[in-house]
Chains A and B, each alone.
Chain A
Amino acid sequence: MNAPLPIYLDYAATTPIDPRVAEAMIECLREPELQGNPSSMGHEYGRRARARVEQARAQVAAAVNGRPECIVWTSGATESNNLALLGVARFHADRGKHIVSSKTEHKAVLDALKQLESEGFFVTYLKPGADGIVAPEQVSEALRDDTQLVSLMHVNNEIGIIQDVGAIGRICRERGILFHVDAAQSMGKVGIDVQAMCVDLLSLTAHKSYGPKGVGALYVRRNPPVGLRPLIFGGGQELGLRSGTLPTHQIVGMGLACEIAEREREADVARICALRERLWTGISKLGRVELNGHRTQRVCGVLNVSFHGVEGESLKFALTDLAVSSGSACASASDAPSYVLRALGRSDQLAQSSLRFSLGRFTTEAEIDAAIAAVTREVERLRAIAPATSPAK
């Protein structure tokens, strides 16, 4: 018999698929009329599939206040980030080779930037404040005559803080510098408006907002056009920016997930915020715990907490009742302390003794209460067996 599943508090790693999204995807997979290649416009099967793809494109565009023709389908935020950074930097290399980003970006951005550095580009990595926020003035001060691109994330995946991308976008627009935003964690949690935020490129993914894994999108401003060089060559789909047969069911899933996320955002945020506060109130009663990231400038569902006096690996091993993360799911296979928390000034020991609880649409009050009980029990147990000079006592 299978062991009971732990309580799922890892929505920032990935969300379960909303049943409404799953139904729409299953329809695409089941109905013969939707089985055509969306690029086969010469027959009805292709045209019907294409209609669904375009409907989804419009749904995603509406969710970010962009135009449908600005949406390019990709395999997810990692590909979107790579296409934005490598594509823009290589296309505009003659305009300058300087890029501005931050130390707390997702690996999909940092590793793409590392690749560009190996190609002769120079990257300034801004250090956020202890609250995780990059001040717009820091960006202003980092800009140079040869800066061609600024890339910052909207919502940090580990600590959940929200960067003021609108203020930074306006600075970039005034200076004529392209602005890319990794918004993988934003959809359904905080409003995205590419016009108001002066965003030129925006990375999105479906699986962080109750859509399927394996599909994402890159918003690319078309007027005036942002030049970028493709990474994948082949059939010339997506106006030549991303070749490859379009996966109708995945795209339909992403479109509906974005529509639902935006339509239900206000209600979701209010409910999840209340659960997060309940969790923080319960955990903070332990004492000697610290919230990582800005207290208020944060999304509703993420709570990153450092526990003094508890060794990180033991804490994680003890909490078998909970599915939580010690950082980015993409980087937490190693025992190394989170580079995001280190950049915020946390010690190696404290960074390693930190947990990310991330809540979502299907989290219940009973689950939060059970999580508080499990964390309290195990932290107190581990602190009780620690020597008096350790930070536990």
Chain B
Amino acid sequence: MTERREYSALVERHFAAPRNVGRFEPAFDVLVARSGRVDQGIEIVLSARIEAERIAALRHLVYGCPHSIAAASWLTERLVGATLDELAQWRWREAATALDVPPEKWGRLLAIEDAVRGLERAWRERASSRARTA
């Protein structure tokens, strides 16, 4: 290309081969969250399968810049094994640091954090629903 942004090696690796692409089929132990819009430069769908009150696996679909694609892919490995409390504590700055994302792209990471918050809400609703059923 005529112009070339600098990307960290981790961004390049995840962009070239994104991990855990796709989404889980709807099920009681599957949580889904979506955030962003194409005209905002990023749209992401996260789906998580819960086992024994931990995230057993994550899948993602993402439209966005290389940083967004890499961050979404990286997140699907980072959050495996997380409990609800650990998920609630996750913030976008961790991805910014790990992937060396420049400040002008931090807004895209906020959209990814919004998707994580969506998973958190879905998880809490699932827990309340189970409590009511019990």
Q: Enumerate chain A interface residues (CB-CB to B < 8 A).
A: 10, 13, 309, 311, 313-314, 316-320, 322-326, 329, 332-333, 347-349, 384-392
- Please give me the residue from chain B that is nearest to A381 by CB atom: B18
CA A22 to CA B64, docked complex, whole Å? 44
Of A314, A348, A384, which is within 8 A of B65 by CB?
A: A314
Does the CB pair A390–B43 fall under 8 Å?
Answer: yes
Does the CB pair B63–A317 fall under 8 Å?
Answer: no
* Contacting residues, chain B, for A326 (C-beta < 8 A): 1-3
Pick 9 A–B contacts, CB within 8 A, sort by A.
A311-B68, A314-B64, A322-B1, A324-B1, A326-B2, A347-B39, A349-B41, A387-B63, A388-B61
Does the CB pair B43–A317 fall under 8 Å?
Answer: no
B49 at the interface (CB under 8 A from A): no
Does the CB pair B63–A313 fall under 8 Å?
Answer: no
- Please give me the residue from chain B that is nearest to A313 by CB atom: B65
Q: Enumerate chain B interface residues (CB-CB to A < 8 A).
A: 1-3, 5, 7, 15, 18, 21, 34, 38-39, 41-45, 61-66, 68-69
Known contacts A311-B64, A316-B1, A329-B2; is-contact A384 B21 (Cβ 8 Å): yes
* Contacting residues, chain B, for A13 (C-beta < 8 A): 2
Of A317, A319, A322, A388, which is within 8 A of B15 by CB?
A: A317
CA A74 to CA B56, docked complex, whole Å? 68
Does the CB pair B43–A332 fall under 8 Å?
Answer: no
Of A319, A324, A387, which is within 8 A of B34 by CB?
A: A387
CA A42 to CA B36, docked complex, whole Å? 73
CB distance from B18 to the nearest CB of A (A): 6
CB distance from B11 to the nearest CB of A (A): 9
Max chain A C-beta neighbours (<10 A), residue from B42, B63, B69 = B63
Known contacts A385-B69, A386-B43; is-contact A333 B3 (Cβ 8 Å): yes
Given contacts A317-B15, A332-B2, A387-B34, 20 further A-B contacts (CB under 8 A): A10-B2, A311-B63, A311-B68, A313-B5, A313-B65, A314-B64, A317-B5, A317-B7, A317-B66, A325-B1, A326-B1, A326-B3, A349-B38, A349-B39, A386-B43, A386-B61, A387-B43, A387-B61, A390-B38, A391-B38
CB distance from B63 to the nearest CB of A (A): 4
CB distance from B14 to the nearest CB of A (A): 11
Does the CB pair A311–B41 fall under 8 Å?
Answer: yes
Of B18, B63, B65, which is within 8 A of A390 by CB?
A: B63
Does the CB pair B2–A325 fall under 8 Å?
Answer: yes
- Please give me the residue from chain A that is nearest to B38 by CB atom: A390
CA A3 to CA B21, docked complex, whole Å? 30
CA A79 to CA B106, docked complex, whole Å? 40
* Contacting residues, chain B, for A332 (C-beta < 8 A): 2-3
* Contacting residues, chain A, for B18 (C-beta < 8 A): 385
* Contacting residues, chain B, for A10 (C-beta < 8 A): 2
Of A329, A385, A391, which is within 8 A of B62 by CB?
A: A385
CA A324 to CA B68, docked complex, whole Å? 23
- Please give me the residue from chain B that is nearest to A384 by CB atom: B21
Does the CB pair A309–B63 fall under 8 Å?
Answer: yes
Max chain B C-beta neighbours (<10 A), residue from A13, A385, A388 = A385
Does the CB pair A386–B63 fall under 8 Å?
Answer: yes
Does the CB pair B2–A348 fall under 8 Å?
Answer: no
CB distance from A324 to the nearest CB of B (A): 7
- Please give me the residue from chain A that is nearest to B1 by CB atom: A316
CB distance from A75 to the nearest CB of B (A): 21
